[in-house]
Structure 1
């Protein structure tokens, strides 16, 4: 005896009581393992968090959220047999799969966040250690017509470093000059001493953030983004330090004092120098957040521009 097929009601397809469009409907905090392959190196396994959205037209009560999970699983299963080298491309694949499954949607958005471990060594003793960097990728797929989709991809990172305040350091330098002169030290010796020995100042733990949005198949090196952020502050920081390492980090930072604005401008210049292959239309977002040590507030600076705009401004130096 055949068991009759019971068709369950599709409540999501009903018309809502308040028929208005919704910009984003989806699921957040979906955790998945993602294996990123690297040429001539071992693959990296990331414990990643996905946020997944589609837009919802006014005539539908709800989106079929189970299709979002199906889209992620489908793409990740394919990744087992097809190498994935770029997490932003993975997001792009998921976003396009979402649009295919949600025929009513005109836009799909996928956001990936993860922790990325990089190997570093202490500056003096050269001890190897691991540093954790926050990385993220996004993709937005938009339906041009029934057949074609336009996709924008974004990749970025957030890196911790340290900065030394130039303003307070100049005050301390002036105080040291007066004290040395009061001790009868000649001006030439005073100038030489102040040149060799960086003065005290207050420090900040800095967080540098860069994201680059591209269209098409332009490749953006995540390692280069991380390197640019690390080199934009007064000094990088290292988890494992001996006393000689601490001395070198502190001295390096105080020899290279920077305001929060300096960090953003340094990142902008190095992005222009480091990504010459990218289109002028690539959109760059640069942020620096410094957690002050002698204030309760944080210092913040940001620049959002196309790469073409940055190239024009840097060329005028």
Structure 2
């Protein structure tokens, strides 16, 4: 009797169905795990923009689910499948913000991991920002580090999702303390040369005194409910405008003088940068709900010290607003 050759594809399909699902077996130690998943999944994220070129993010994803003590392991391949599905949605224009991308992934993971009560998606990206220098208007680019996150929790109805978007920007700060010391010295010299007080004041208004500078690194992240929107470009703008001056990859001579002058006319401590960010957040995002959480960090890499200066604030929008309003009442 002649045997008919079997279809290789059919054989592979039946073979895969017969493979044991080891993840679904019981573990030797039956305890719940808070986070099980994959880290540093590298993806190129392309976000559609109507009438413009898409925004490209070079991204690393961390994707987690919680795992009950009854299961030996999580099915991690589902995480990759969901990420790729949502990335295609971003290309097609269905997802237009990276924090929205994270929240969609988090929701889909709850559907794919029926045993999970909590999913978490972290996204770290590099984003190229096009800039123009202040005097020569030379075009250059700057790399901004972008952070997005979403956490979805299963409920008896629809999942509860919280998402966040943030950025890390590098700028320049000028120290007010050293500048004041140099100003006092210059004032004594000018007075010794019989320069009038009016002329001294006029000079200092036009030519700020020397001080030591730092490269500052500002971080701002805002966490909201899933139905609220935070503009990433506004976050980046707040970070840049809260330091003494921005910095640029390429500077002509006129640009260099303008940047140094701007920084020295706007000296700020590391604490000043954080407080200025908080003020600008309330002004720009006054529509956000009071339970939206803000994380602000500033690190200044000191030039005349061997240490770095650091300041931080974490608070809800409501807490910051109460403090700001209280400060205004006190000043009145």
- Shorter-chain TM-score: which interval? over 0.9
Q: Which segment drifts farther, 188-197 or 204-213?
A: 188-197
Structure 1 pair 150/228, CA: closer, same or farther in 2 (3 Å)?
same
Distance in 2 of aligned mates of 1:232 and 1:134: 17
Please say if residues 171 and 245 of structure 2, whose CA atoms lie closer than 8 Å, have aligned partners that are also in contact: yes
- Partner residue in 2 for 1:76: 87
Match status 1:12 vs 2:29: no
TM-score (normalizing by structure 2): 0.90
1:1-317 → structure 2 map (5 Å cutoff): 3=11, 5=15, 7-145=18-156, 147-316=157-326, 317=328
User: SS of 2:18's equivalent?
Assistant: coil
CA contact (8 A) 1:36 1:83 kept: no
What 5-or-longer segments of structure 2 have no aligned partner? none
Tell me, in whole angstroms, the C-alpha distance in 2 between the residues paired with 1:41 and 1:77. 18
Offset at residue 303 of structure 1 (A): 1.0
Pick closer, same or farther for the CA change 1:133–1:172 going to 2, 3 Å.
same
Length, aligned pairs only: 316
CA-to-partner distance for each residue in 1:1-55, whole Å, 9 max, x for gaps?
A: 6656462222222322332222111111111122112233221122211110111
Please report the TM-score for the alignment, with normalisation by the length of structure 1: 0.95
C-alpha contact 2:48 2:93 (8 A) present in aligned 1: no
More moved, 56-65 vs 239-248: 56-65
Aligned-pair CA distance for 1:184: 3.5
Q: Distance between the aligned counterparts of 2:79 and 2:43, measured in 1?
A: 13
SS at match of 1:63: coil
Measured against aligned partners, the alpha-carbon deviations of 1:118-172 in whole angstroms (never above 9, x if no partner) come to: 1211111111111111111110010013x52111010111111000001111111
State the alpha-carbon separation in 1 of the partners of residues 278 and 79 from structure 2.
36
* RMSD after superposition: 1.6
Q: Is the 8 A contact 1:35 1:84 kept in 2?
A: no
CA distance in 2, matches of 1:237, 1:293: 16
Structure with greater Cα Rg? 2
Unmatched tracts of structure 1, length 5 or more = none
| Structure showing the higher strand proportion among its residues | 1
CA distance in 1, matches of 2:51, 2:168: 26
Distance in 2, matches of 1:298 and 1:266, equals 19
